[in-house]
Chain A
Amino acid sequence: MAGSVLALAVLVVLPLTFLVWGSVNTDGHLTLAHFRDAVSSRLYTQALRNSLILGISTAVLSVAIGLPLAWAVSRTNVPGKPFIHLTAIVSYLTPPFLTAIAFVNLFSPRAGLVNRFVRDVLGMPALTFDVFSMAGLILVTVPHTFPFVYLLAASALESVDASMEESAQILGASRWRTVAAVTGPLVAPAILSGALVAFVNAIALFGSQAIVGLPGRVFTLPTRIYALFDYPPQYGLASALSLIFVALTVAALYLQRRYLARRSYVTLGGKGNRPQLVDLGPARWGVFAFCVGVFAVAVAAPYLTLLAVSVSKSWGLQFWQNLTLRHYHFVLFEYDVTRRAIWNSLILASATATLTVLLGSLVSWLDLRTALRGRKLLDYVSLIPLGLPGIVVAVALIQFWLRVPLPIYGTLLIILLAYTGRYVPLGVRSANAAFRQIDPALEETARVTGAGWLRTFRSVTLPLARPGLFAGWLLVFVPALQELSASVLLFSSGSITLAVAVYNLYETGALGPVAALAIVTMLIITAAIALATRLGRGRAAGAVSRAERGEVTQ
């Protein structure tokens, strides 16, 4: 108990307190000047507006894409269902900044491959698309957010038993009437919830907003906060902006929870549901084409582009005429930052995943199996970081550790603290789900048989919870390996991470090496997932997708 209290205090409570303190304090005096600056300057109101436009458009588009996919997979006889599901999972796992970089290579105003083709070959300059714009930002963000709507809507649609709809049909309701009166209202909470999670995630993605937004002068809250750390750093204003950002996130998450709590029907029943399948006839090929389109934009285009850029001497319409591996040689053998970044990220991701799952197990175990006072509070505190975008976590940690006489700023340790703080909710969620599945009677049986507390935990609880805990580990490991939003404010040359290395290289304009490093990053992520899954003896594969749903349901 004391350990987990201390951990959560250092990870969450104290940094947050210092963030609030920093936002209302100038040289030791209480002041609202920072907030006044934040809401009166056009720089920041414009950023807030842009963040809102980005979040709302992304949420709407995520529904427009995720819902049809979910419906197709769970309710129709569309061909290629595993493929559609995989499309959503891969889009979700792809680091957002890689998608952004790929689309820059296709749609940057002058050098973008598609733009060149449209302008120089087709001779229709009016049809070019400038990715450095709000529309471009939305385009590169949606592939990362529609899976939230997809996963939530699909599980809701699957859980509505066919008899609910058949009851309406036998009473004379047409198909559309049935959708409007029964299916729609039943799955609406899940869809809305997915849209709000998409909103929260979209506005927090520093990578795409920096890569696509900054060149087009489309500033958002994270990029504005980032800019405040240029010399001279304006900590107070950054803290105030961070809190406004947090308010936005928390408001969306609050809406989501309230709506879900009040109108959630889909978890009823649960066992033996038989969803009603629609025979689409020939139309199923049209639906399939839509899914292929999503695959093309969200998966095929980014990966193929990065692959092509990474092996071409010069990026252009004839890129295949000069293939080369020298970009790979450069990033792997000449550019010494890369190996350090790979190593750092692997250490950070493994350590973060292990720490969050341990802490999560402790907090959940206290919550579920003991009657200690304050255990609920512990559980709530561990969920606070859900409302904190990555960059805000970084600002809070800086505020805290700059005032503490421990020199951890600029080390791997502060990044580890940031990651652990950010992902502790995932650890708690996974551990909670894993322990909840274990009937207390199983543990009580061990106790009655004469096993002590520790023995019971070791030989009953832990083995039963292991697949769930392992899924949680993977669920933290993957995003930690590609974390950018917090790292970008906390790294130093010694503690550089993979994502930061990619971002820095991108800023120098070296497109070929960036693409090569991006491909290497993806290979490392894929290898790590494969290795981790094999270590978990394959049990985690199914658990991961379940845990993903758990995560996005929050």
Chain B
Amino acid sequence: MAGIQIERLTKRFGAVIAVRDLSLEIRDREFVTLLGPSGCGKTTLLRLIAGFMSPDEGVIRVGATTLSTPAGVVPPERRGMGMVFQNYAVWPHRTVYQNVAFGLEVRKVGRAETRARVARVLELVNLAGLERRYPSELSGGQQQRVALARSLVVEPGILLLDEPLSNLDAKLRERMRWELKELQRRTGITFVYVTHDQSEAMALSDRIAVMHGGEIMQLGEPRAVYTRPANRIVADFMGLVNLIPGRVIRAAGDDSLVAVGGEHPIAARSRRARSAGRRCRWRSAPRASA
């Protein structure tokens, strides 16, 4: 079981509050994306989950085990998680094989089994045959897969990914997205994925947590977050949503009506207008196309 419970987590850096009283429950085998602009606290949250930082307040639990409290933190090396970094962090002085086998060496897995498992995972990420290469002889996409294979080979219950696709070119990013999703389906690992790219989040996630100022603005399925943003920050960030100034004609909950446009206003449906006659901003709900 590798669900993650985060309760009332706060992390400060001096006067800056990077994560603010944040609670989140990630289910086993779920693909959850932390989405937000840079500085929203998403990477800090990921590093708190990994155990590279200790929280100032709050608790992080995996299953029944408490991993992080302000009083103490289980170090990263004893959490049994995997992590893929934005810059891949593939070790340049080790071959592909040595990179991938490292986690198994640490776990004192026997030679024959190591070889078999490395071969299997390299097969999984389409790198078979490149075992003896050094990272400098690989393309960006291939290095990315080495980083993935290195995390997957130890069969972690949870895989943390920090903007793993942002250094790839558009075409490759597209393909790796699909492969990541496939991989998650096949392995059944819980993925916590950090990105600032909302289309990536839409394509990959079971649920998206949109973050801003260290807080979760909205948590939900991709389509729900996209079509029914909880507030303007989320709407702005999800993009493709138009905010048009208008005036409320009829305030009647789900069945409200708003006049939008300048000289020749048109009536538009609204789901939650407050009171008739007030100025407002009408949000055009996009068709769910993604």
Interface residues of A (CB under 8 A from B): 161, 163-164, 166-174, 177, 181-182, 185-186, 263, 265, 268-269
Contacts and interface: CB of A to CB of B under 8 A. Distances in A.
B81 interface: yes
B150 interface: yes
B103 interface: yes
Given A170-B151, A268-B92, 4 more contacts: A163-B89, A164-B91, A169-B52, A171-B154
Nearest to B79: A170
Nearest to B102: A171
A185 B81 CA distance: 25
Interface in B49-63: 50, 52
Contacts of B91: 164, 167-168, 182, 186
A430 to B, nearest CB: 29
A164 B89 contact: yes
A158 to B, nearest CB: 16
B140 interface: no
B87 A163 contact: yes
Nearest to B80: A172
B106 A163 contact: no
17 contacts: A161-B87, A163-B89, A164-B91, A166-B50, A167-B83, A167-B89, A169-B52, A170-B77, A170-B82, A170-B83, A170-B160, A172-B80, A172-B106, A172-B154, A177-B106, A265-B92, A265-B93
A77 to B, nearest CB: 14
Nearest to B107: A172
Nearest to A171: B103
Interface of B: 50, 52, 75-83, 85-87, 89, 91-93, 102-103, 106-107, 136, 147, 150-151, 154, 160
A147 B107 CA distance: 39
Given A169-B77, A170-B76, A185 B93 contact: yes
A112 B61 CA distance: 66
Nearest to B162: A163
Given A177-B106, A181-B102, A268-B92, A171 B87 contact: no
A173 B104 CA distance: 10
A181 to B, nearest CB: 7
Contacts of A185: 93
Contacts of B79: 170
Contacts of A168: 91, 102
A174 B89 CA distance: 18
Given A161-B89, A164-B89, A181-B102, A169 B150 contact: no
A161, A171, A181, A269 pick with most chain B CB within 10 angstroms: A171
Contacts of A172: 77-78, 80, 103, 106-107, 154
B77 A171 contact: yes
A168 B93 CA distance: 13
Nearest to B84: A167
Contacts of B52: 166, 169
A163 B85 contact: yes
Contacts of A181: 102
Q: Which of A161, A166, A177 has the most CB of B within 10 A?
A: A166
Contacts of B154: 171-172
Contacts of A163: 85-87, 89
Nearest 7 A/B pairs, CB to CB:
A171-B103, A163-B89, A163-B85, A265-B92, A172-B106, A170-B83, A167-B89
Given A166-B52, A265-B92, A171 B85 contact: no
Contact of B150 (A166, A171, A174, A268): A171
Contacts of B150: 167, 171
A265 B94 CA distance: 11
B140 to A, nearest CB: 13
A263 B77 contact: no
Contacts of B82: 170-171
A166 B92 contact: no
A383 B98 CA distance: 38
A170 B91 CA distance: 14
B83 A173 contact: no
Contacts of B78: 172
Nearest to A164: B89
Contact of B75 (A169, A171, A182, A263): A169
Given A182-B91, A186-B93, A265-B92, A173 B102 contact: yes
A524 to B, nearest CB: 45
Nearest to B85: A163
Contact of A171 (B93, B106, B160): B106
A508 B147 CA distance: 68
B231 to A, nearest CB: 32
B76 A166 contact: yes
